[in-house]
Structure 1
C-alpha cells in the first residue's frame, strides 16, 4: 500500500497550492504507469484513517492498494 501526501506551509497562496496539487497528480500518474508497466495490479482508494501520526503540514490525497 502506498499513500500520497502533499506538503505545504499554512498560508500558501492559492496559485502555489494549485501547482503543488498538479505536481502531486503528475507523480500519481507516473506511479500508476510504472505499476502497470511492471505488471502490478492494484487500485487507487481514498481512506479515512491512513496513518495516525503525520506532520500537520502533510495533506493526504489518495492511496494505492495492491491487489
Structure 2
C-alpha cells in the first residue's frame, strides 16, 4: 500500500488515504494526508497523528477539507 502511494506521488498526485489497522499505517504516513476510518480504539490510541472517524460522511468532509487546504 505504501509503495502504491509513493508511486502516485512520483506522478505529482496529492494522495489522501484511509485505513483501519496497523497494516495501513505506513500508507497513511506516506500519503499527503492519512485518516483512520473505523479503526479500533487501540490503533487510534497508538497513532494519534491521524484524524479518525467512524462515519463515511465525516470522512468525506475531512478529505474535502484537506483538499481545500492544499
TM over 0.5, shorter chain = no
- Relative contact order (C-alpha < 8 Å, sep 6+): which is higher? 1
Q: Where is the helix percentage greater, Structure 1 or Structure 2?
A: 2
Bigger share in strand:
1
TM-score (norm 2): 0.28
Q: TM-score, normalised by structure 1?
A: 0.29
